Amino acid sequence: MAEERDMNARLILMCIALLVVTAGQAIAGGKGGKVEMCHKGNTIAVSVTAGVAHLRHGDTIGACEPESPPVPADTDGDGVADPDDACPDTADAAVDIDGCSCQQRGDCDSDGDGVFDQDDICPGTESNPDADGCSCQQRGDCDSDGDGVYDQDDLCADTPAGDETYDDGCTVITLSAFAGDDVNALPGDMVYVVGQGAVLTGDPAGELIYTWEQVGGDPVGFSFSSPPLTVDTEGSGGTATFMLTVSTADGSASATDEFTITVDLDAVVLESAVCDPDTGHCYARIDTLTWCSEMKAAANDMYYGGMRGHLATITTPEERSFLATVARNAPGIIAGTDRFEEGVWVWDDGPEEGQLIEWFPWASPPSNFYHWSYPEGEDYISNLARGWDDLNGWRRYYVEFEPSW
């Protein structure tokens, strides 16, 4: 009885709703007193009386809702419907839009090294794989400093590029020595040899050790610290040759070099000369009569103030004026000559040796040339108080001393 009462109550409510809907439709100019109902999936228009019967059979008030399309099946549960699933049996794995996993495609790269798993000999590579998916750490052939020795065998991890190495990856220790430039000296000079040194590659332990020994020539007194060498040439018969040995404290490398002190036994040291304060050049007139062709050798054996002499070369009017003060314009042969080619005047000594004489007095002889080129064969220039002349024979001459020669 209670269930019947409930059903009748619901039916009454639906009828009331039916009347309300019908009235609303009529006011809105609807179906002419009929009401839309959904009957077995179809929308129909019925009278209110018929609508009550339809309600009893489970129809609903209002038009039918459109049916949703059926959901395609996804048999393997990979999120891709069976009709679109190119790989219907995908395991529990990430898939692409075709429903295929990397295992099914054959392009899995679990360690992200760019080599597919089936080709990857070294799974778990972190960086810089080869074609097999292996890094140098996994292969055991890393060479971080590029010295040709694998890291696990390399005792010197930061070898500079280009260095030759030992088997342990450390730079080969090489050593070269430089004893200094050969030295010309006068008898009794104290020679202080400078410029010694060594070039070292590698990193040996300890300081470099310098030692000296005389290996040739007449014995002379010498002493050294590390590395300057001091030699007393007193008693030398002409030359003294020394060897510098440089070695590493650990004995891993050593090198030698020689240099020679040549003592000019024929040297003549002048006690006086006249020096130009502006240029530092000094000049002396040699009053000993000397054959012109022998003057150059004689001048080269002379020294003043530690400077070696040469026949004077007068290259500027200022130098000509200064030379005039040396011996009050007394005549004297200088380094100009045309003995190599008649009429072609060149310097034959000093820094200008071999150069054409281009400064004014000799370019085209003016009136102050005295008996110039007369007679032929007078091949040496002499300055005179009244001008210039070319001479030969026994003469006096001028020697110039300058720091750069």
pLDDT tens by residue, 358-399: 765 544 444 445 455 555 678 898 876 566 778 889 999 999
Q: Evaluate if residue 90 carries a pLDDT over 60.
A: yes
pTM: 0.44
Q: Evaluate if residue 123 carries a pLDDT over 70.
A: yes
pLDDT of residue 298: 94
Q: How are strands ordered across the β-sheet holding 239-248?
A: 183-185, 254-263, 239-248, 208-217
CA atoms within 13 A on the CB side of 101: 14
Q: How far is CA 142 from CA 22, 115, 157, in A?
A: 89, 20, 11
Mean pLDDT of 133-140: 75
Note the pLDDT tens digit of each residue in 7-59: 555 556 565 655 555 544 544 444 556 878 888 878 888 887 787 777 777 88
Quote the radius of gyration of the chain (alpha carbons, Å): 58
| Domains observed in the chain | 2-61 (no CATH), 174-263 (2.60.40.10), 268-401 (3.10.100.10)
Mean pLDDT (the chain) is 77
pLDDT of residue 396: 93
Note the pLDDT tens digit of each residue in 137-175: 777 777 778 777 887 877 777 777 777 777 777 766 778
Residue 266 has what DSSP assignment? T
pLDDT of residue 24: 47
Could you give phi then psi for residue 51, rounded to 5 degrees?
-65, -35
Q: Say whether 291 sits in a helix, a strand or coil.
A: strand
Check: CB of residue 329 under 8 Å from CB of residue 384: yes
Q: Evaluate if residue 1 carries a pLDDT over 60.
A: no
Find the angle CA(30)-CA(33)-CA(36) to the nearest 5 degrees: 65
Residue with tokens 């008649």: 342
Q: Nearest to residue 332, comparing CAs of 374, 273, 385?
A: 385
Note the pLDDT tens digit of each residue in 272-299: 999 999 999 999 999 999 999 999 999 9
Q: How far is CA 390 from CA 37, 108, 336, in A?
A: 146, 101, 9
371-402: burial string, b at 16+ Cβ within 10 Å, e else: eeeeeeebbbbbbbeebbbbbbeebbbbbbbb
Check: CB of residue 84 under 8 Å from CB of residue 98: yes
- C-alpha 235/C-alpha 160 separation (Å) is 50
pLDDT of residue 403: 87
Residue with tokens 């020669």: 405
